[in-house]
Structure formats: C-alpha cells, structure tokens
Structure 1
Amino acid sequence: MFRMHPSPPPRLNSTGLFPDLYTYNILINCFCKMGRVSHGFVVLGRILRSCFTPDAVTFTSLIKGLCAESRIMEAAALLTKLKAFGCEPNVITYTTLINGLCRTGHTIVALNLFEEMANGNGEFAVVCKPDTATYSTIIDGLCKEGFVDKAKELFPKMKDENINPNVVTYTSLIHGFCYANDWNEAKCLFIEMMDQGVQPNVVTFNVIMDELCKNGKMDKASRLLDLMIQIGVRPDASVYNTLMDGFCLTSRVNRAKELFVSMESMGCKHNVFSYSILINGYCKNKEIEEALSLYSEMLSKGIKPTVVTYSTLFLGLFEIHQVQHALKLFDDMQRNHVAANTYRYTTFIDGLCKNGFVLEALELFRAIRNSKYELNIVSYNCLIDGLCKIGKLETAWEMFQSLPRVGLMADVVTYNIMIHGLCNDGQMDKAHDLFLDMEAKAVEPDCVIFNTIMLGFIRNNETSKVIELLHRMDKRNVMPDASILSIVVDLLVKNEISLKSIPQFKSQR
C-alpha cells in the first residue's frame, strides 16, 4: 500500500505579496478546522523561517486541532513548549486545552490545569484569570464525569470573582444535579437562573424534562413545555421525544400521540426517534396495528427505521404470536440494509423459539453463524432451550458440545437448560454426569438445577441419590423449594427411611 504524504501548503508569495503573521495564523486555523493539523505545523515552520514570532493565537489553533483529532497528550505537550518560543498562553489557549481534556475523559488533568492557570503555579508562573467559558468548560466536564460536588464548589468561587455564569454554566450544573439524583438542587438552580435573568435554552429545558419524565412526573414536564413556549424558547424534536417517551413509559400512549401530532404544528419535523418512541409505546400497549401503521408512515416519508425500530416491532409481534408478520418484517429489515447486532439477532431467535418456530430459528442461527457476526452464549442458550422443548434433544446436545469449538463456555443457564431437557427425557444418568461436569468446571449450580435433578431422582425412586443431593445442597447453602422438600419427606416415609438422614437446612434451624 502506498502512503500519501501531505502536500505542502500553497506558496502565498507567488503573487509577489508576502504574508504576515496574521495571514499565517488564519491559514493554520483553516488547516486545523479541516482536520489537517500536519499542514498547520508546516505553516508553523514557515513562520519560524520567516523570522516571525508565533503568538498565542498560533498555538491555540494548533492545540485545538490536536484536540479535535484526540491527540490530547501532544496538545498538552505543545502548551509546555510555548515558553521556548517566547510566548505566553492566554485564557483561550488554556480553555481550549481544558475543553479537549474534558472531552476525552481527562477531567482531573483538566482540573489541575485550571487550578494552575488560576493560581499561577504552573509552567509559566503567571496568573491567567479564567473567564466564563473556562469555568463553564471545567464545570461541564466535572459534572459529566460525576464530580458534581467539585463542580458545585467552583460555582460560588466563579461568582465571587465577579465572573457571571451563563446558560451553559447553569445547564451543566443542573444536568450534574439531575445525574446525581439531587432534584431539589437542580430545581433551585433553575429558579436562580431565571431570577438572574439568564434565559434557559432548549438544552436546559430538555435536561430538566428528562429528569421529570424518568421519575414519572409527567404533568410537571408538560407544564415545563408550556413555560418554554411562553418565554419564547422554541422546542425542538429532542424535547418532544423526551416527553413522548415519558408518557409512553407511564402508559399514556394517547397523550404521546397528541404530542406527536402537535410537533408539526410547531414547525418541528418528526425524526426516526419520534416514530420509534411512539411505536414502542404502542407495542407495549399491544396495539400492534397502530405501531405497524406508524412504521408504514415513516417509510412513506423516507425516514429509514433503525435496528431499534425493528427490534421493538419484533418484540411486539412475538408478544401477540404474529410470527409470520415478524418474519416478513425481518426480510424488510435486510432489504433496507439495516444492520443488526448480536443482541438483536438473539432477541429475534428467542422470539421464534418461544413461539414454537424453532426450526426457523435454527436456520437463522446457522445463517448468522456463517456470516461476520459472532453469536454469544445467550444466543446458544435460546436455541438449545427451544430444541429441548420440541424434543430435538440430540441436536441440542450436539450444539451444547460444540460450545468449546466456537470459543464459548457454558454458563449456569446453559447447564440448567440441558439438564432440564435430559431429566424430562428420562436420561438421569446423563443429567447427573452433566451436573458433576458442571461442578468440576467451577460453574456454581443454583437452586433450579438442584431441584430439577432432584425431581428426576424422585420420579425414579432413587432415594440414595436424593439424600446425596440434599447434602450437596446443604454444603453450598442452597435451600430446596418447600414443595420439593415435602415430596422428599413423603418419599423417605414411604421407603421407611429416617428423616435424620437428610440435613436440617440452615434456613430452617
């Protein structure tokens, strides 16, 4: 493969005009915005050869470009090199790097840089007073990383220094308080914001609405929409989607539909999320015809459904046993080139199996396995369970044994399914061997597995194995079901065996 080297920037002096530092800075900024930072450094080299002294604007553009490419360590290193060029960073330089550090999860490093900047104890030993943008950036970064208490400490300090918080500052803190489930603090901050004459924007409203909706306070969320419109903040699709989702979660689908209809009257277009939310609401309400009607409507408008839209419809259709319609929709999904993932495929396989379409699920399973997708143990569990339930025990067993070959390890659910299938088929010796194999492989058996095997032994009147199993359960502090314990007692009495032969379980002592 050939590697293309970046072409040098154009020679600006080809017309006889010589660029100055201001011109070079504009060129560097353009290259960095285009994602061509390497060209920006070429221009920096030309600045130096032209005997100009690069300034804070020069380096700020380069730092911003490096941050945009997630080359954070290089950006931080560049800041430390400014002194060698006889240049001191300004508040914009610091804020640019702090923003880059916060965006890439280096918030604590950003906080240290912020403190160096404010206190003058950094590389340059000069105080560079943070402004509103600097405070807003670090507060937002801290809140997003969950350091809400630290962000809260900076807020009064900001005001003490006569730096006025803006809508971004308030919104970041409100979001942080909501994330920390401190609704009272968020509400007080919102009221303070309004009292200070800082008008909340659409993001602020959306953050608060989302918190109200998550807590089922839909009437308050609706009143917030009214307030939003009243003060002249135009709601966007995300606001309507948040409210619609909240109403769907509280089983008020008709109210969600009213909002869906009113969106367009407010000049707000429906998007794929608007449709998917309402489709989900109808599916959970088992109003599948309404959901399918919305699906058709979105297609007619040229809105491409996502894999989430299809998955929601699949679950709704499987719930009411409309498997053929689900299969048709699956074909539509493939024709529309909507890529699914392992989780979505597993959901579909599970739906088919639970509705008795196990052979169709097996066919899909094999097709997926032969493609680029890797199936996980959950996918195998769904199909093994389905095969056991329709009496295809041999196929299920083959699939179970194939797990190590495909790099998977059976978990407690897999063993549970397979042991249950063998017990139902009367293959108790094989089920017991599998149970021992499970223990040997350090897969901890649960109460369900113990109960399953015990019922099998009880049916076969294998008293000694029942007693042995009870002692194994006692050692593992696993308590058998009361109903099974009652059957065990009856079995022992019937066979004239003393009840002292079985353990007294700790929960009964």
Structure 2
Amino acid sequence: MEEGSCKPNTVVYNTVIDSLCKDKMVDDAMKLFSKINEQDACTKEGKMNEVEGVLEVIIQRGVDPNVVTYNTLMDGYCLQGHMDKTIRVFNTMVERGLHPDVFSYTILISEYYKKMKIDEAMLLFLALPRRGLKPNNGPSNDSQTYGILLDGLCKNGHISESLSLFHMMESNGLHLDTVKYNILIDAFCKDKKLDIARAIFSNLSSKRLQPNVKTYTMMIRGHCKEGPLHEAKELFVKMEQSCCFPYDVTYNTII
C-alpha cells in the first residue's frame, strides 16, 4: 500500500496501531507512531489533533509513551508555531514521570527564540546542567542546541551575547563547524561590522575549516554594501580558486 499510489492516512495508521497494541506488539506500535512524523503524514500538514488521537489509542491500550513520542508531538506543534501546546506536551511528559532529554529542551529553546522570548530560552539552556544534561553539540547535527542558541541570539539582535557564547564554546573546546561560523559572519555583516566579520572569517583556516558558498556569499555581500568593492572581487576570485563555485545569489550580489 505504501509503495503504491494509495497512501495510508491517519485513520489507517490508527487502526493498525490499535491492533498492534491489542497483540502486545508495543515496539512495532511505537515505531509506526514515529513513522507518522517521519513521513510528514500529520505534523507538517496541520493535523496534530489526529496525531494526538493516535497517541490516545496507544495510552488506552496500556502502552506508556516514551520521551521520543512526546518529542515527536512537541516538534510537530513547533512546526505550526503553537508554543502553548508545545509547553503543554512538555508538562504532560513531566507529569507522567518521564524525564525530558536534551532534544526536548532544545525544541522549547528554539520555539522561545522564534517568539522572541530570549530570557526564557536562556533560562532553559542554563537549567540543563542542573538536570544532569549536556547541550547537544555533536559534529554532524546542524540543528543542535548551541547552533540554535547562536542563531536565536543573532536573529533577536543580541549579537554581542552570541559572540560571547561563541568564544565560550571555543575556550571549552566545544565543536564549532562552518555553519556556526556562518551564523556570526552573517549577523555581523548585516550589522555593518565588517571588521569583526573578517576576523571570524579569517579564523576559519586556523581551525582547519573551509568556508562554503554561503560563507563567501555573505562576506561578498557585506563588502559590496559596506566595504571596499575590490575586497569583494578578491573574495570572489578566492572563492573560485578554492573550488567553491558560486550560485545565483552570489552572482546577483556581485551584480
């Protein structure tokens, strides 16, 4: 059914999950619940009430949802911008005796920043160590806690605080990738502070990191608006010499 043109809807998932729960196939039921989110069957189409309905079936069949299940719901509500419902799910998880993980807190932190609630976001971040949790800072995940903090601070005009956090990460030997550098470079270019943007850009090579097309484009745009044009051209040449090929936005910036 899934492989053909006839795709299962939430009612079908609900029925299958109900049967799995009756047969005590809990692991399979929970995997199928997660699949609803992975396949965008509900959370990205505004059908979160249906997702909660499926969850209710699971609970009625005596299956206790885990942290991953509640994180799925929280993430879905965040995609729709429902801060109140996200917090409600978080509180329900705690009330049921579960311990939210780093991803749970990262979802809330991200949503607080989107709503421009900086203080609340920082309080949650600072609370992580007290709960025995470490902010997610692995090398491969672009949407990690620290990246969200840096981006949230910059987008809400707290650029100096973002730079301080960045330096703290450096001092503590935390993972800094090109994406995190780009967040600061973009912020300082837009804030017309090219000297700081240049310093951060120059620091990439000392950390054995390579600027990507977004890095160069942001720097070129900054120099076209506020800096010497010849430096923008030099960056463009350096970009091509590094086999980092421009895309349309880069050319439009130069033009």
TM range (shorter): 0.7 to 0.9
Higher relative contact order (CA 8 A, sep 6+): 2
Match of 1:404 in 2: 205
Q: Is the 8 A contact 2:178 2:209 kept in 1?
A: yes
Distance of 1:436 and 1:268 partners within structure 2: 60
Amino acid aligned to 1:377? T
Distance of 2:27 and 2:93 partners within structure 1: 15
Match of 2:52 in 1: 257
Match of 1:432 in 2: 233
Match of 1:422 in 2: 223
Amino acid aligned to 1:421? G
TM superposition score normalised by structure 2: 0.83
Establish whether residue 378 from structure 1 lines up as the match of residue 179 from structure 2: yes
Q: Is the 8 A contact 2:20 2:29 kept in 1?
A: no
TM superposition score normalised by structure 1: 0.44
Match of 1:220 in 2: 12
Q: Is the 8 A contact 1:237 1:270 kept in 2?
A: no
Question: Number of residue pairs matched?
Answer: 244
What SS is found at the alignment partner of 1:422?
A: helix
Establish whether residue 363 from structure 1 lines up as the match of residue 153 from structure 2: no
What SS is found at the alignment partner of 1:443?
A: coil
Match of 1:47 in 2: none
Shift of 1:432: 1.5
Q: Is the 8 A contact 1:275 1:294 kept in 2?
A: yes
Amino acid aligned to 1:334? P
Distance of 1:403 and 1:228 partners within structure 2: 52
Change (3 A) 1:216 1:323: farther
Q: Structure 2 unaligned runs (5+)?
A: none
Match of 2:85 in 1: 290
Amino acid aligned to 1:403? L
Match of 2:150 among 349, 371, 382: 349
Match of 1:242 among 19, 22, 32: 32
Change (3 A) 1:316 1:241: farther
Match of 2:117 among 322, 340, 352: 322
Distance of 2:114 and 2:28 partners within structure 1: 29
Q: Is the 8 A contact 1:341 1:373 kept in 2?
A: yes
Match of 1:303 in 2: 98
Shift of 1:233: 0.9
Q: Is the 8 A contact 2:42 2:48 kept in 1?
A: yes
Shift of 1:295: 1.8
| Structure index of larger Rg | 1
Q: Is the 8 A contact 2:44 2:79 kept in 1?
A: no
Q: Is the 8 A contact 1:241 1:274 kept in 2?
A: no
| Equivalences for residues 103-502 of structure 1 within 5 A | 182=3, 217-228=9-20, 232-236=22-26, 239-240=29-30, 242-243=32-33, 245=37, 246-339=41-134, 340-342=136-138, 343=142, 344=144, 345-454=146-255
Shift of 1:301: 4.1
- What whole-Å deviation, never above 9, does each CA across 1:190-223 have from its counterpart, x for those lacking one? xxxxxxxxxxxxxxxxxxxxxx9xx562222223
Q: Is the 8 A contact 2:14 2:57 kept in 1?
A: no
Q: Percent identity?
A: 27
- What whole-Å deviation, never above 9, does each CA across 1:380-432 have from its counterpart, x for those lacking one? 01111011112222111111111111111111111101111111114212211
What SS is found at the alignment partner of 1:402?
A: helix
Amino acid aligned to 1:294? V
Distance of 1:265 and 1:224 partners within structure 2: 14
Change (3 A) 1:217 1:446: same
